[in-house]
Amino acid sequence: MHLLETKLKNQVIEYLRRAYPTAWFYKSADRFTSGIPDLILCVDGKFFAIELKVGRNEPTPIQKFVIKRIRAAGGRVAVCWSLDEVKQFMKGGAT
């Protein structure tokens, strides 16, 4: 993972720990399974997934497929390029 994306991931994790102290979350680090979002969360019984990108990076085809499957299963998922986008995403459905 690119250093800038790692920095963003760390900022997001810090925010989530402060803003949602009872949430469960998992940061994916499996280099061998493609397409899994960077962060998987459960907040108040709701499933969230966040794919983090930096710069002009876009989701890969397999990431787009996984995002579509999560949505089809009723989960909330977003691709975010900044901490502010993560905050907006979480405010839209987390309590």
> In total, how many domains does the chain have?
1
Q: What is the pLDDT of residue 93?
A: 62
**Which CATH number is 37's domain given?**
3.40.1350.10
Q: What is the pLDDT of residue 27?
A: 87
pLDDT means over runs of 10, the chain (95 residues)? 82 96 88 86 96 94 96 97 96 67
- In degrees and rounded to multiples of 5, residue 90 shows phi and psi of -65, -40
Rounded to two decimals, the pTM is: 0.89
Domain of residue 67: give its range: 3-91
How many Å apart are CA 32 and CA 17, to the nearest integer?
27
- In degrees and rounded to multiples of 5, residue 78 shows phi and psi of -145, 150
